[in-house]
Amino acid sequence: MKLLVVDDEPNVREMMRLTLEAAGYEIDEADSGEAALAAYSGGRRYDGVLLDQKMPGLDGLETMKRLLALAPDVRVVMVTAYASIELAVDAMRLGAAHFLRKPMTPEMLRGAVAAALAGAPRPAIRAAVPAAGPQILTLTLNGFRIEPAPAAGASPNDHVFTVTRPDGTADRVTVVIDPDAVSRVARLTHHELAPSGAFWRRQAERLLSGYLWSEGRLPEGGRLTVHDVSRDDLDIAAAWTAD
C-alpha cells in the first residue's frame, strides 16, 4: 500500500518513512499541505495520508478538507503534538480516520496506520451517561478500547478492564483504588463512597484512559493505582448518589 507522509519537520518525516517502509508500505513525503495537494493534483493517489496538524501555510485540518474533496476514499491519520479534545472532535467530524499524538513510538505509528487502512471505527469521545446507567465501552482518541471486565474474586478496591489495542490485541488491566484516597474523599466530603462503586469506577476508568492516551501503551504489569482525585471530583463526590 502507498502512503503520503505530510510534515514540515524532516526528521519526523524520516522517522515515519523508515518505520512504515520496514512494515512494507511504499512512502512518499511532502513538507507542507500545499505540497500534499500538489501531489494529488499531479495525478498521484494514496491509500492513506499521515497529516501533521500544525504546519506553516495550510494547517492539517484545512489540508485534510481539500484532500478529501479530491479523494473521498483516502484514509487520513491526523498527527499532532498539540492534542486537545476540540481538535480531535474537529478532525473526526471533518473525516479523519484516526488520530495520532506526538511523540509516538513505532508501534503506535504502525497501529494507527493499520487501524485506519482497515477501516476500524474512528476513535471517539465517550458519550456521557448517568453514573448508574449501563456500562458502555470507551474509545480513547488514539484508538484504545476500554471495557469493564468480569472480576470474580477481585478485591473491592480493584476495577478490572479489558483494553483492546489499535491493532486488535487485548489484555486486562487492573486499576486499584488506594484506601488512603477513599479515606481522604470521605473526610473532605463527609460522604463515604465504597471503592467498588460507580464513583471510584469512574475514577479508575479516567486514570486508565488518560494513561493510554498520554503513553500510547498498556501500563507495566497491567496495573495502575488511583492515589487522589481532583478538586472538581471532590465536589462531585459530595453530591454523589449513584452508589
pLDDT digits (tens, 9 = 90+) for 89-126: 777 778 888 888 877 888 888 888 988 888 754 444 44
CA quadruple 173, 122, 30, 73: dihedral, nearest 10: 150
Stronger pLDDT, 213 or 5, i.e. the higher one? 5
pLDDT at 107: 84
Measured CA to CA in angstroms, residue 47 lies from 72, 92, 144, 243 at distances of 11, 18, 23, 49
Note the pLDDT tens digit of each residue in 197-242: 999 998 999 899 888 877 888 999 999 999 999 888 888 888 887 6
**What would the DSSP string read from start to end of 11-78?**
HHHHHHHHHHHHTT-EEEEESSHHHHHHHHHTT---SEEEEESS-SSS-HHHHHHHHHHH-TTPEEEE
Over its C-alpha atoms, the chain yields an Rg (Å, rounded) of: 21
pLDDT at 93: 78
Q: Which of 214, 48, 59 is nearest to 141 (CA)?
A: 214
Under 8 Å between Cβ of 3 and 39: no
Q: How far apart are CA 94 and CA 63, in angstroms?
A: 11
Stronger pLDDT, 20 or 143, i.e. the higher one? 20
Average pLDDT in the 7-34 region? Answer: 94
Give the 3-state secondary structure of 79-120.
EECCCCHHHHHHHHHHCCCEEEECCCCHHHHHHHHHHHHCCC
Q: Catalogue all structural domains in the chain, each as residue range(s) with its CATH number.
A: 2-117 (3.40.50.2300), 138-238 (3.30.160)
Under 8 Å between Cβ of 91 and 61: yes
The distance of Cα 178 from the centroid of its chain, to the nearest Å, equals 26
Give the CA diameter of the chain: 67
pLDDT at 239: 86
Q: Which of 45-49, 164-168, 199-203 has the lowest mean pLDDT?
A: 164-168
> For 206, which DSSP code?
H
Note the pLDDT tens digit of each residue in 48-87: 999 998 899 999 999 999 999 888 889 999 898 775 666 7
518513512: which residue's cell? 17
pLDDT at 135: 47
Residue type for position 225 = T
Name the pairing type of β-strands 145-148 and 75-80.
Answer: unpaired
